[in-house]
Amino acid sequence: MKKQLLLFILFPLFCQSQNYVDLFKLGYGQTINNEFVDAPGSTYVKSLEADLTFPVVLNERHALITGVAFSRNNLELSPAFDFTSLYSTTLKLGLASTYNNKWSSTIVLLPKIASDYKNISGDDFYIGGFALLKLKKKENLIYRFGLYGTSEAFGIFTTPIIGWYYLSDNGRFEMDMSLPIAADINYCLGITTIGLDYYGIGRSFNITEDGAAPVYVDLSSLEFASYLQFNALQKSVLLRAKFGYSSNNYEVYEQGSKIDLGLSAFSFGDDRTQLNPDISGGFFLKFEAIYRFNISKTEDKTSAD
C-alpha cells in the first residue's frame, strides 16, 4: 500500500522524464591544494551539500515541487584572511505539468539566503529560478529546452539550458545533460556504476561579519569528476566516490560593485576591482549518498500485485 501511494505521488510528475527521482542527496568533499596566484601560500576548500526534493500531486496533470538545498564552503579567501565559511540555503517551489504524451514543463522558483551567516539581512537574500520545456521523442529519449536566471550580489546571471536524457535499450548506458550547467554520463555494471559528471554555475555570498569590510564573494564554479558508484537496495541507495578537478575561483569584491549582466560564461560591463588574489584550481575528492526512488520498478511491482 505504501508503495502504491508513493507511486501515485511521483509518477504523474516524472512520467515524461527519467524513470527515477532523487529525493535526497548528501555530499562532502575537499580539494587537495589550491595555490594563491601571484601571492604566497595556498588553501583548500571543504564543501558540504544537502538537497531534499518532495513533490506533491495536485491532479493527474500537475504536481507541486517543494524542497530545500543547503551548502557550506570553507576556505581562506586570501593569505591575509582566516578560514571563512560561506553558506547558502535555497528553497524550491515550483510546478511540473504534463500536457500530452510528448510535452511537459517544469517551472521552479529558487529564493535563497547566501552569506557567511554572521549578521543576516535583506542584502543576503536572492531570488532565482528556472523553466524547462521537455519533449519526449522516444521512450528512452527526452529533449530539454529552458532558461535559468538569478539575482546575485554582482548583478543578474542567466543562461539558456539545452539538454537531453537518454537511456540505452539494455538500461546500462545513461546520459543526463542540462548544458551548460550540468552533465552526467554513466554505465551500469550491475552492483556498481562508473561515470563522469560536470557541474558549473555562478554564485555569490555576502560577508556580513561585524568589523569586516563590506564585501561579497563571487564564486565561478566549474567541476569535472569521474566517479565509482555502489548501487544498494535495488539501486535505491547510491554511494559515490568522486575524484576530479575544480577550477572554482572565489573572487572578493566591494559590496555594491556589479556587472551589467552575466550570460552563461560571459560577463558584460564588468569593471570591478578584485580585492583578493585569484585562487588556482585543484584536484578534489568527494563522497555522496543519494536516496533514489525508482518509478519504473515500483510501477511494475504494483501492476503485478
Examine the pLDDT at 80 and tell me if it is beyond 60: yes
Buried/exposed code over 106-116 (b: 16+ C-beta within 10 A; e: otherwise): bbbebbbbbbb
How far apart (Å, rounded) are the C-alpha atoms in residues 132 and 159? 12
Average confidence score pLDDT of the chain: 88
- Confidence grade of residue 9 (pLDDT, cut at 50, 70, 90): very low
User: For residue 135, which of 126, 124, 125, 146 has the smallest C-alpha distance?
Assistant: 146
Tens-place pLDDT, residues 208-231? 877 777 899 999 888 999 999 999
Residue with cell 561515470: 195
User: For residue 51, which of 84, 26, 34 has the smallest C-alpha distance?
Assistant: 26
- Confidence grade of residue 296 (pLDDT, cut at 50, 70, 90): low
Contact by Cβ (8 Å): 242, 29: yes
- Give the model's pLDDT for residue 237: 95
Partner residues linked to 147 by β-bridges? 131, 160
Examine the pLDDT at 254 and tell me if it is beyond 60: yes
Tens-place pLDDT, residues 16-40? 446 778 899 999 999 999 999 988 9
Q: How far is CA 65 from CA 14, 21, 98, in A?
A: 11, 12, 14
Tens-place pLDDT, residues 49-65? 999 999 888 988 999 99
Single pTM value for the model: 0.88
Q: Which amino acid is at 110?
A: L
* In the chain, where the domains are located: 2-304
- Confidence grade of residue 95 (pLDDT, cut at 50, 70, 90): very high
- Give the model's pLDDT for residue 213: 77
User: For residue 66, which of 109, 114, 97 has the smallest C-alpha distance?
Assistant: 109
Examine the pLDDT at 13 and tell me if it is beyond 70: no
Mean pLDDT of 102-117: 95
Mean pLDDT of 226-247: 95
- Give the model's pLDDT for residue 235: 87
Mean pLDDT of 192-206: 93
